[in-house]
């Protein structure tokens, strides 16, 4: 199991992303609540950006 930053309330964006990639294929460990929500936030933002970029292509095909 990879070591992640477990100090409550001190997980920054960079630490959360680092922990995400360190433990991506290691299903034995846990993450902090802040780490989970940072990754969820960035993935949601990326999904919305992709949707906004691809929406005109889907609605008005060439």
Q: Could you tell me which of 1, 8, 7 has the C-alpha nearest to residue 27?
A: 1
Answer for the pair 35, 11: CB distance below 8 angstroms, yes or no: yes
pLDDT one-digit tens code per residue, 7-56? 666 788 888 888 888 878 877 777 778 888 988 999 999 999 999 999 99
User: What is the predicted pLDDT for the residue at 18?
Assistant: 85
Residue 2 pLDDT more than 60? no
The Cα 47–Cα 30 span in angstroms is: 24
pTM over 0.75: no
User: What is the predicted pLDDT for the residue at 1?
Assistant: 47
């Amino acid at each position: 199991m990879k070591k992640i930053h477990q100090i409550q309330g001190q997980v920054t964006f960079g630490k959360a992303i680092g922990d995400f990639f360190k433990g991506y294929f290691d299903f034995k460990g846990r993450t902090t609540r802040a780490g989970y929500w940072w990754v969820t936030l960035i993935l949601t933002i990326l999904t919305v950006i992709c949707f906004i970029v691809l929406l005109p292509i889907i609605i008005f095909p060439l």
